[in-house]
Chain A
Amino acid sequence: MSASAKPIANTRSGTGIPTARLITWWVIASEIVIFGGLLASYIMHRIGHPEWAESASHTLTWAGALNTFVLLTSSLCAVLAHKAADAHDGPKAAKLLRLTALGGLIFLCIKGYEWTLDIREGFVLSSGGFWSFYYTLAGLHGLHVLAGMIIMLIVAADAAKNQELQRVECIGLYWHFVDIVWIFLFPLLYIAR
């Protein structure tokens, strides 16, 4: 982990973008096509099956909205952490990152509660096209939230020691991307009828 173990390759910056941020951008690009492929498949099915609107009306809009709010707020924490990192204030950045991770946790809890209600009503992964996409899309997104939280806590642990501060911005970028995905999932899964 120690910075001295880094190869020279990692410290160069031919593009003017630090390697850490550059790889983050590429990861985000590859995530765009993964989510994009799934969303495109969902959208063309959804337009082709107007009757899915009936299933969609069973989703809990308030839960989705609440989750959107939670993610937006956690994104705010993430970007404030980036600001703190730019000011070389590692401990503050770490605190804000942990807040962001907490936001992710709340998001997952709400989602878990929401899914329990759905399943109680008998809507499971295999009960029709809409629900299959509903659980797959939200599930894939949820996995990204979970992964983001774990990485974020690791980054926070380093940042608290004023180490690897550049990572604070990168995990933030990733988190904002996850946020944006949800910004589109919310109307697609909850509002559109």
Chain B
Amino acid sequence: MTTEVHHAEPGIFRKYFFSTDHKMIAMQYLFTGMAMALIGGFFAYVFRMQLGFPNQQVPGYGIVTPGRYNALVTMHGSIMIFWVAMPVLIAAFGNFLIPLMVGCDDMAFPRINRLSYQIFLLSALVLLASFLVKGGPFGGAWTAYPPLSAVGAYNLTPIGATLWLLAVALEFIAFLLGGINFTVTTMNSRAPGMKMYDIPLVVWMIVLASIIFMCSAGPLIAGAVMLLFDQTMSTGFYDPTRGGDPLLWQHLFWFFGHPEVYVVLLPAMGIVAEVVAVFARKKVFGYKTVLYTTWAVGFLSFVVWAHHQFVAGIDPRMANIFSITTLLISVPITEMVFLYIATLYGGSIHLDTPMLWALAFIAEFMIGGVTGIFLGSSGTDIYLHDTYFVIAHFHYTFVPIAIIAVYAGITFWYPKMFGRMLNETLGKIHFWGTVIPFNVIFIPLFITGTAGDQRRVYSYAQFAEQSRPALQHLRTTSTVALLVMLAFQFVFLFNFFRSVRSGTSAGANPWRSTTLEWTVPSPPPHGNFAEMPTVYRGPYEYGLPGRADDFLPQNVPD
């Protein structure tokens, strides 16, 4: 029997570093992700300071030279996507939630699960190592277009470029292993009685995200091998003078890069669905429709990639096709957001911190969504491509995804993770201190973008039109707002670590929720369930008419 092997209490080292328990691995991913987020946030601070207050000593860093600036923006992008959004949204929440929510004791393949984290940790270390090598870290933007990324003579960071590529490749392998494990667990290891449409949305979305990642990352892994050979073995895969083609990498990259957006979006959408349902005490409006739209988004995300390349030298006729598919993908996404808003109708909404985050996600993500239309329609993209408008747009999608939804998830499942409640007051302070400055950071950037500020430029001194004082004021505003936002994150960290010890004890089901993870003690023991649950109904049975209690857990017989 399973519990037998777990009884022997392992030593600290085995317990915290070589555990195969999905909850421990989830914590490892979560804390690694948070650590990387601090690094990525620090980089944002440094280069925003350079943009807000050009060519001055940045406290805690020093002068930002062009080379360092390029490295900072490159690393900020890579870290925030690959080492923060992915590990926290997919790996941390996936590992913690999937076995608990589908009602089994662990992942189907715990040792593969542990391996995936260890490879991920290695990838993070390889990336950080590139800060110590000669020439410094890679500075060719997170898209790493060759020949710049392929030829040391061009990027001047030959070792850093190779390390960056290795780190990304390792990270992909880690998430392939993890994602396949999630998929198999959800497909095969569900509690008896849990049918396809009884699976909570967040599990659905994490699994679909893993599958999308699996299908889109493959070609880029192949492309990474080719780029690695270009860098180290002087092959010519991307060298136009030797039968190669630099555009091939751009296609390989964006064929992965666009689905990647949905890889991180879907788990966030799932988290928000759970939180909204619980705090509106409402069934998610049109559970099945949400799923169908998700599948549609998943498939369409594979046919839009070249809208990142409208002016990149692709044949202009292709742009029309990709412009249409891009507008097409806005259809299911709109539907999904509408359904989330409709879920609020007829509920009784409790504005606890998790709910605030979830609602903020919807409100802010809509802005990110509609600004995407400007870039998806090829005509206007000619002007807006690679300007700060793009930056503002995708931060209005990625910050809600990787910051706001993650906070919704953490504040919501924190009681389950650590058995104690977070402090509500501090939580609300942190919420307003994050969401308001976030808008003040990026709304000015929409304007500088429409005014023609191009990306990845360390100083606009060279550009007469861009160095107008009016624009510089906007940049400074944005920088100051960033400082405020970063400052408020320490409120969260304080709240987080203080409550682990001194928070009020949570009990099994503090939010009076229906899904299976709330039927076990907090934090859940090894093997999760004392006896394995059976599922009798869907995940969102709130406000059932004619019942004393306003919620009916999945595992309670009628």
Contact = CB atoms under 8 A, between A and B. Distances in A.
Interface of A: 4-10, 12-15, 17-19, 22-23, 26-27, 29-38, 40-41, 45, 49, 52, 125-126, 128-129, 132, 136, 140
Nearest to B191: A12
A37 to B, nearest CB: 3
A154 to B, nearest CB: 13
Central interface residue in B110, B183, B221, B235, by most chain A CB within 10 Å: B235
Given A26-B214, A32-B218, A10 B189 contact: yes
Interface in B55-111: 99, 104-110
B218 A8 contact: no
B5 interface: yes
Contacts of B216: 33
Contacts of B233: 125-126
Contacts of A128: 236, 242-243
Interface in B195-252: 214-223, 225-226, 229, 233-237, 242-245, 248, 252
Interface of B: 1-2, 4-5, 99, 104-110, 112, 176, 180-181, 183-185, 187-190, 214-223, 225-226, 229, 233-237, 242-245, 248, 252, 527, 532
A177 B109 CA distance: 22
Contact of A37 (B176, B180, B187, B218): B218
Contact of B176 (A17, A30, A36, A132): A30
A45 B190 CA distance: 46
A30 to B, nearest CB: 5
B225 A15 contact: no
Contacts of B183: 26
A40 B233 CA distance: 22
Nearest to B237: A132
Contacts, number: 137
Given A8-B104, A128-B242, A140 B225 contact: yes
Contacts of B248: 41, 45
B215 to A, nearest CB: 6
Q: Is the interface of B mostly helix, strand, loop or mixed?
A: helix
Nearest to B243: A129
A114 B106 CA distance: 47
A33 to B, nearest CB: 3
15 contacts: A8-B532, A10-B109, A12-B188, A14-B188, A22-B184, A30-B176, A33-B214, A36-B218, A36-B219, A37-B218, A37-B223, A41-B219, A45-B244, A126-B233, A132-B237
Given A14-B189, A129-B243, A41 B184 contact: no
Nearest to B251: A41
Contacts of A15: 187-188
A33 B108 contact: no
B180 A30 contact: yes
A14 B226 CA distance: 39
A22 B1 CA distance: 23
Contacts of A34: 218-219, 221-222
Contact of A7 (B110, B245, B252): B110
B161 to A, nearest CB: 18
Contacts of A8: 2, 104-106, 189, 532
A102 B494 CA distance: 59
Nearest to B219: A37
A126 B185 CA distance: 43
Contacts of B218: 30-37
A38 B350 CA distance: 52
Nearest to B256: A37
A55 B220 CA distance: 26
Nearest to A130: B243
B107 A132 contact: no
B188 A126 contact: no
A26 B242 CA distance: 37
B188 A7 contact: no
A9 B95 CA distance: 13
In order of increasing CB-CB distance, the 5 nearest A-B pairs are A37-B219, A33-B218, A129-B243, A38-B222, A9-B189
A19 B189 contact: yes
B104 A7 contact: yes
A33 B217 CA distance: 8
Given A7-B108, A37-B218, A14 B242 contact: no
B106 A23 contact: no
A7 B226 CA distance: 39
A49 B237 CA distance: 13
A115 to B, nearest CB: 14
A132 B222 contact: no
A36 to B, nearest CB: 7
Nearest to B230: A132
A15 to B, nearest CB: 5
A147 B420 CA distance: 46
A26 B184 contact: yes
Given A10-B109, A33-B219, A27 B187 contact: no
